[in-house]
A and B are shown apart, each in its own frame.
Chain A
Amino acid sequence: MKLGDIFLNHNKKSSPQDESFQNKRIKGKEIWVYIIFGIWAIINLFPVYWMFTFSLKSNEEIFGTNVAGLPKEWLWSNYETAMGSGNMGKNFLNSTLIAIVTIAIVMLFSLMATFALTRFIWKGRKRMNNFFMLGLTIPIHAAIVPIYVTLSKMDLINSYLALIIPYAAFSLAMGILICTGFMQELPIDLDEAACIDGCSTWGIFFRIIVPLMKPAVATVSIYTFLQCWNELMFATIFISDSVHKTLPVAIQALSGTYATNWGPIGAALVLATFPTIIFYVFFSKKIQDSFIAGAIKG
């Protein structure tokens, strides 16, 4: 669908006409629109704000004197408790490691496959592409039991690979979809020039194509990162020892331990969320585009 390109570029062409007829229509009505926007913004932001504030409060404040305000006394020790006894540091590293390796695999495999699917001339490449796109609709439920059974046979339960392999597989379709969009835009003349200069296929791929695919790499990495970072179902089932736990699973466990002590849980929630939020602050457009790109074809 060609629409995809239009959507991704919509920001570049903000037309002057838009504003001219908008100006005529500024009336009292506009204020209501902004009130609606404001209310919905509060509904979206408030839980996050509340999380940040109660992560810094004592039980006393949370449970009585100061439920929703800013903390009177900023209790950073909640974070120490969460990091220390909850072993959050280790879980944080696990999640990071799994995300990075998954991203690397998805990136390499989908760039290679996309190269074969867009540059090479062969029968059935269109069909192969459609086949990969099926991956966008296959629910992860399909994989749970067979993969669990296989992993236990191979003694891979409670290992990083138990999560990395399925995460990579389930992000692959999106990786190929996004890479295809970007690779089709690279002129074939580049390949021809490199070929004349004596580059082999691998040379063209690694020296010409891959370096030019940076925007695709960014988009795919963001998408894959969010998929791995937040995933719960596989992570709960395939990992049961504390050494390999990822953040979401660790938080689940921690909330059981600190059922009555909300501060440290709040701190853990903030720790798990802030990398995503920081990313989002700097790359909001890119992150949104990666979600749009997936949906247009999905």
Chain B
Amino acid sequence: MKKLYSNKLTIILFILPALLLFLLILVAPIFISGYYSLYDMNGFGKKAFIGLENYGELFTSSSIGFVKALGNALLLALLSVAVQLPLALGLALLLGKGRKGERGFLSIYFMPVLISTVVIGQLWLKIYNPSYGLLNVVLRTLGLDSLTKIWLGNLHTALGAVFVPILWQYVGYHMLLMFAGIKSVPPEYREAAMIDGATEGQVNRYIVLPYIKPILKICTIFAVTGSLKSFDLIYVITNGTPLHATEVPSTLMISMLFLRNRYGMGSTIAFLLIILCFAFALIIGRIFKDKED
């Protein structure tokens, strides 16, 4: 048996397909993106080494507007942590207490996560439609005509309008993870605290939250890196318009690649995004660790 299970050749045969796929499609492209980012490339054979010029241009050129796009993504990250996660946590704490129908509500709240972002995006496009959209129709019916707007065409409202569906769609996801964490708190802990006279708020604060800290860390990492990477809903709803007001790094990357054929610049944005995601994941991990001590 031991002999059977330490045969080097068999090990290699079993692990090789997965390893090859993994190395070729996930790992190698990171390095290739980093390499491309040092070149001026157009995808049709032109390829000239320019060092860090792409990076310089990205941060200084106002016509590309990367700084603004990155700012938008960071704002989304901030809103996710400040709005989406507390909302998810609140609902999870309320649901996790063992109320009747908790599974039903949980299932309803999780549903938007499963629906294709294209579908959600198209739906919200219709909701925001200036003439026939649900939002303006409701405002008009309530007699609030003055509040109706061209939500997605207005420089001041467009960004907020695309953020709402993004934040909305993933509340259920974070809530599900937190709910699972809360359900794993041993009931004895809860009960002991209750017997000692703790209120519901105190139980949540001193028993449940510390217990689910690993989950809170993961949710925070997902919320922040997810915001930095956000693409789908923005691409479907506004694709950066009006006047780059809703541009995020991913939409900028796509337009660099496929509208302007600037593969080097596109790779630069991709590479920066990867680094930012890893960096934020590390930083958030560190913050949560410090609090543990």
Q: How far is the CB of B186 from chain A (nearest CB, A)?
A: 9
Closest residue of B by beta carbon distance from A143? B29
| Chain B residues whose C-beta falls within 8 Å of the C-beta of A166 in the assembled complex | 25
Q: Which residue of A lies closest to B177 (CB)?
A: A295
A selection of 5 A-B contacts at a CB cut-off of 8 Å is A17-B188, A229-B116, A237-B254, A249-B118, A273-B119
* A17 B191 Cβ-Cβ under 8 A: yes
The answer for the CA separation of A11 and B7 in the assembled complex, in Å, is 41
CB–CB A292/B214 < 8 A: no
Interface stretch (choices B60-68, B78-86, B90-98, B143-151): B90-98
Asked whether A142 lies within 8 Å of B29 as measured between CB atoms, the reply is yes
B window 73-124: CB within 8 A of A: 91, 94-95, 97-99, 101, 103, 105-120, 122-124
The interface bits of chain B over 253-272 (1 if a CB of A lies within 8 angstroms of the residue's CB, else 0) are 11001100001001100110
Contact present for B112 and A10 (CB under 8 Å): no
The distance from the CB of B211 to the nearest CB of chain A, in whole angstroms, is: 10
Any B CB within 8 A of the CB of A216: no
B residues 165-214 touching A (CB-CB < 8 Å): 168, 172-173, 176-177, 180-181, 183-184, 187-188, 191, 194, 200, 214
- Top 6 nearest A-B pairs (CB, nearest first) are A169-B25, A113-B18, A116-B14, A146-B29, A146-B32, A10-B183
Report whether over half of chain A's contact residues are helix, strand or loop; otherwise say mixed. helix
Q: Is B281 an interface residue (CB 8 A)?
A: yes
B243 close to chain A: CB less than 8 A? no
Residues from chain A with a CB closer than 8 A to the CB of B127 are 47, 50
B17 CB–A CB distance under 8 Å: yes
Chain B residue with the shortest CB-CB distance to A105: B21
The reply on B26 being an interface residue by CB < 8 A is yes
**A242 on the B face (CB < 8 A):** no
Q: How many angstroms between the C-alpha atoms of A33 and B218 in the bound complex?
A: 27
In the complex, per-residue mask of A182-203: 1 if CB is within 8 Å of any chain B CB, else 0 = 0000000001100100001100
Residues of A within 8 A of B (CB): 1, 3, 6-7, 10-11, 14-15, 17-19, 21-22, 25, 30, 33-34, 36-37, 40-41, 43-45, 47-48, 50-51, 54, 62-64, 67-68, 105, 108-110, 112-113, 115-117, 119-122, 128, 132, 135, 137-139, 141-149, 152, 165-166, 168-170, 172-173, 176, 191-192, 195, 200-201, 204-205, 226, 229-230, 232-233, 236-237, 247-249, 251-252, 255, 262, 265, 269, 272-273, 276-277, 280, 284-285, 287-288, 291-292, 295-296, 298
Q: A41: which B residues are within 8 A, CB to CB? A: 105, 108-109
In Å, the complex CA distance between A11 and B168 comes to: 27
Whole-angstrom distance between the alpha carbons of A46 and B90 in the complex? 21
| Interface pair A145/B263, CB less than 8 Å apart | yes
Considering only CB atoms and an 8 Å cut-off, how many residues of chain B contact the other chain? 102
A142, B118: Cβ atoms closer than 8 Å? no
Q: How far is the CB of B129 from chain A (nearest CB, A)?
A: 9
Tell whether B229 is near chain A: CB-to-CB under 8 Å.
yes
B54 close to chain A: CB less than 8 A: no
Q: Which of A21, A40, A139, A230 contacts B109 (CB 8 A)?
A: A40
Is the pair A120, B6 in contact by a Cβ cutoff of 8 Å?
A: yes
Report which residue of B10, B124, B125, B126 has the largest number of chain A beta carbons within 10 angstroms of its beta carbon.
Answer: B126
Q: A282 to B172: give the CA distance in the assembly, Å.
A: 19
Report Cα–Cα, A295/B111, bound state, in Å: 17
When distances are taken between beta carbons in the complex, the residues of chain B under 8 Å from A280 are 107, 111, 114
> Quick check: B270 and A120 within 8 Å, CB to CB?
no
Q: Which residue of A lies closest to B175 (CB)?
A: A40
Within 8 A of A (CB), among B192-251: 194, 200, 214-215, 218-219, 221-222, 225, 229, 231-232, 235-236, 250
Chain A residues with CB below 8 A from B274, complex form: 138-139, 141-142
State whether A143 touches B263 (Cβ < 8 A): no
Whether A44 lies near B218 (C-beta < 8 A) is no
B70 interfacial contact with A, CB 8 Å: no
* Distance of A246 Cα from B256 Cα, bound (Å): 23
The answer for the CA separation of A288 and B180 in the assembled complex, in Å, is 10
> Looking at the complex, which one of A36, A137, A237 makes contact with B281 (CB distance below 8 Å)?
A137
Residue B22 interfacial (CB < 8 Å) = yes
User: In the complex, A273 Cα to B103 Cα: how many Å?
Assistant: 22
Q: Establish whether residues B15 and A169, one from each chain, have CB atoms under 8 Å apart when the complex forms.
A: no
Chain B residues near A230 (CB-CB < 8 A): 114-118
B2 at the interface (CB under 8 A from A): yes
- CB of B2 within 8 A of CB of A117, answer no
A148–B263 Cα distance when bound, in Å, is 10
Q: Which residues of the other chain, B, contact A37 by a CB distance below 8 angstroms?
A: 91, 94-95, 101, 105
Q: Does B19 contact A (CB under 8 A)?
A: yes
Task: Decide if B94 touches A269 in the complex (CB within 8 Å).
Answer: no
Told that A44-B112, A120-B14, A276-B115 touch, could you supply 14 new A-B pairs with CB distance under 8 A? A22-B97, A47-B124, A68-B134, A109-B17, A112-B17, A116-B10, A146-B29, A148-B257, A173-B22, A192-B1, A232-B235, A269-B122, A277-B114, A285-B103
B277 an interface residue at 8 Å Cβ cutoff? yes
* B21 contacts A165, C-beta separation under 8 Å: yes
